[in-house]
Structure 1
Amino acid sequence: MSTEENSGALPLPQDDPVVSAGLDIAMRWGAALGGPEKLKIAFEALEPQLKREHQLRLKQLDMQREATARAEENAREAAERMVRLAQQKRQHALRMTGLWLGAGVSFAMLVAGVYVARDMWWLSLFLWGPSLLAMAKLYTLRRSDPGDMQAVTLGMRSAANAAQQAPPPPVP
């Protein structure tokens, strides 16, 4: 009697080479171990080892996922640091440009005030007065208060009043 006659399972097609090879291997294992009972005992002994290997693989996969997540987090933090650094560099360049521009405008106003002081002293007061402070504050500190503009307006009025009261310059 063959194995197929003893089993209650449906007969498998014999023309499939994969199924035939699988049955052949199973019959050899069963014959080598001395029957189905010993094969069952061997599989039960193999099961704890397979469970341990499976748990080990799961732990390794978890560790790989955690390492990948840490690497992605580190890469994201590094990218954010680079963006912050680039922004800080741009802000620094902008502030330094404003500082230099404010110094240049202030120096130009001082030079212009000295230059026109001989002929139009009232204009030099305007260039040296509150407008110089307001321009320097605007360019260097990047802020302008309403009091600054009021002082500039008051300075312009006083310079205009002084110009109206001043005698005309001598004709050469």
Structure 2
Amino acid sequence: MNRGDQLPADWAPNDDPTSLAAMHVAMQWKELDPAHLAAAMAAMEPSLRREHRERLTRMQMQREAAQQDLEERQRARTDRRRMVEVVCGTVVALAMLGGGIYAAPHSWWLSTLLCGPSLLALTKVFVLGRSDPDDMKLLSAAARVSTDSAGRAQASQQPPEA
């Protein structure tokens, strides 16, 4: 709300030069007969209509400018949000990859969980911003397969105990 156009609380009509001039003109018009007054009003009508159209056009242009400004701010906010999502997805993916590589010599199963399908699923959630209903089913099946195959590979690499 624009408060610049409001009058102060202690405003009196006699203080305003515009209202004083209007009162002076009104006093002069009071002395005219009705025919002259009607002619004067008819002469003023086109000017008043033109001023009204100008005001309406100005208001429409201000409304359109405000709408464009709002759309631009929303677009900038959406772009910032998308960039934050991409950065968060990248950080999560790099952290999971780093954790998987660090845990690989000691906990093969943790490494397969961190570097496997869960990495892809979390990256999809952060970067694309969506998760399909079948993602969890596919993720659990892929995690099961990856841990089973890693377990078989780990068991074949261990030397037989004598």
Normalising by structure 1, what TM-score? 0.61
C-alpha change, 1:128 and 1:163, in structure 2 (3 Å) is closer
Counterpart Cα distance in 2 of 1:164 and 1:115? 18
1:94-146 Cα deviation digits (max 9, x unpaired): 11110000000001111111111112222212211111111111001100012
Counterpart Cα distance in 1 of 2:114 and 2:138? 13
Which of 115, 120, 126 is 1:139 aligned to? 126
Structure 2 residue 68 is the aligned partner of structure 1 residue 81: yes
Aligned to 1:125: 112
SS in 2 for 1:134: helix
Per the TM alignment, residue 162 of structure 1 is displaced from its structure 2 partner at its CA by 6.3
Counterpart Cα distance in 2 of 1:96 and 1:119? 35
Q: Aligned AA for 1:93? A: R
Structure 2 unaligned segments of length 5 or more: list them.
1-32
Structure 1 unaligned segments of length 5 or more: list them.
1-42
* Aligned partners of 1:130 and 1:148 also within 8 Å: no
Q: Aligned AA for 2:117? A: P
Per the TM alignment, residue 152 of structure 1 is displaced from its structure 2 partner at its CA by 1.6
1:131-167 Cα deviation digits (max 9, x unpaired): 1111111001100012322222123334565688766
Aligned pair count reads 124
Counterpart Cα distance in 1 of 2:127 and 2:60? 39
Bigger relative contact order (CA 8 A; separation at least 6): 2
CA root-mean-square deviation: 2.9
Aligned to 1:61: 48
* Aligned partners of 1:116 and 1:124 also within 8 Å: yes
Highest Rg: 1 or 2? Answer: 1
Matches within 5 A, 1:1-172: 51=39, 53-158=40-145, 161=148
* Aligned partners of 1:126 and 1:155 also within 8 Å: no
Counterpart Cα distance in 2 of 1:151 and 1:97? 27
* Aligned partners of 2:118 and 2:139 also within 8 Å: yes
Percent same amino acid at aligned positions?
31
Greater displacement, 100-109 / 151-160: 151-160
Counterpart Cα distance in 2 of 1:128 and 1:161? 15
